[in-house]
Amino acid sequence: MTSATYQTTTLSSVHPWLKRNETSLDSCPKVVSYTHDTGSGPVLFLIHGYPQSAFIWRHVAPLLKDRISLFIPEIPGYGISSAPKEKIQFSAVGKPLVEVCGKLFPGRDVIFGGHDRGARICHRLAVDHAHAAEAPKAKLRGCILLDIVPTQHAWKGFANPRAAVSYWHWPFLASPLAVPMMQAFGGGKLTRTGLDRLAGSNSASREKFQANGAWEIYTSLFDTDEAIEGSCADYNAGAFVEPDLQEEDQKAGRHIEVPTLVSWSARNLGAMHNGKVEEIWKPWVKPGVKLTAVPCGDDVGHYLPEEASEKIAGEITKFLDEIL
């Protein structure tokens, strides 16, 4: 595939029933998103992570489209949606996404859902929503977090040398040296090594992960300076802003206050945290609020929306049936 692959192969080209939108905001010149409207009811956010794009949801979205309306954005600064006009902290990058969803689905309740960095955006949005100074325009009904533990806890886990080696890209991408080093090495080349390294060993799951030319789409996208610079700014916020915000949240008793579904790779994240992912999340969800915790086995790796799409879609559907 050519370097333009990421521009020509999109969610809406694979699934024409998804509408592609370009929304201009005062804070962000262009936010690209894909939507499907059932006509009424809540809207489910599906936010991608690093080093990927909204294309990660190509297997999950068709399995959910008859159940709920979908809002699937491209994270600003990751090469498709433009970077914010001002250098806002990337911990706040979810706010433009909420604003866009409000324009496309006015007056509708929402459920925040995401994978990897997208899940971290959802975590921040859910806490901020519960403790906003002014009542949010949309009611939050639930939160779905795929293959993460809270950012603060993840950094503390780096005291384990094996964890630090496995997630070496966290401190690297947060460093000011990351951008020129990635440009010199090749952002696409580094992306391919990351995709391969964190994927599971299940051959059928790996085949689904690579289907539709996905790896070529991601690598061509992260060969662009915009994606390199924007994602590094995101990881910089993940090192220098988010942990402090989360520490303040814990001290002040600010939690997620809506039913929450957490799912993770037992092979990767689960093993790294000694099978205690559910226990790690409990203090971050308000006491008395339901936390649903689901490990994914079968040797699937980090990229759950692609490697374990049917299971993830099934768990999301069950979660929606419980909360709506």
Domain ranges of the chain: 5-323
Within 88-141, residue ranges assigned H as helices are: 94-104, 117-130
User: Which of the four CATH numbers 1.10.260.40, 3.30.70.1560, 3.40.50.150, 3.40.50.1820 does domain 5-323 have?
Assistant: 3.40.50.1820
When pLDDT is averaged across residues 214-232 and rounded to a whole number, the result is 95
What is the DSSP secondary structure assignment for residue 1, as one 8-state letter? -
Share of the chain above pLDDT 90, in %: 84
Q: How confident is the model at residue 93 (pLDDT cuts 50, 70, 90)?
A: confident
What is the DSSP secondary structure assignment for residue 134, as one 8-state letter? S
Q: Of 50-54, 75-79, 201-205, which gets the smallest average pLDDT?
A: 75-79
Indicate if the pLDDT at residue 88 is higher than 60: no
Whose tokens are 């503390």? That residue is: 156
Within the chain, residue ranges assigned H as helices are: 5-8, 11-14, 61-64, 94-104, 117-130, 151-156, 161-166, 169-174, 178-185, 187-198, 203-210, 214-221, 225-240, 242-252, 271-272, 277-281, 304-307, 309-323
When pLDDT is averaged across residues 33-48 and rounded to a whole number, the result is 98
Q: Give the pLDDT score at 131.
A: 87
More confident residue, 114 or 162: 114
Residue 265: strand, helix, or coil: strand
Indicate if the pLDDT at residue 3 is higher than 50: no
Is the torsion defined by CA of 23, 306, 182, 186 positive or negative?
A: negative
More confident residue, 91 or 29: 29
Q: Give the pLDDT score at 1.
A: 37
d(CA 295, CA 288): 22
Indicate if the pLDDT at residue 73 is higher than 70: yes
Indicate if the pLDDT at residue 6 is higher than 60: no
Average pLDDT score over the chain: 94
Q: Give the pLDDT score at 133.
A: 65
More confident residue, 19 or 163: 19
Q: Give the pLDDT score at 303.
A: 99
* pLDDT tens-place string over residues 160-174: 898 889 889 999 999
On whether the CB atoms of residues 208 and 200 are closer than 8 A, the answer is no
Q: What is the pTM of this model?
A: 0.96
Indicate if the pLDDT at residue 34 is higher than 50: yes
Q: Give the pLDDT score at 132.
A: 81
More confident residue, 287 or 86: 287
Q: Give the pLDDT score at 16.
A: 97
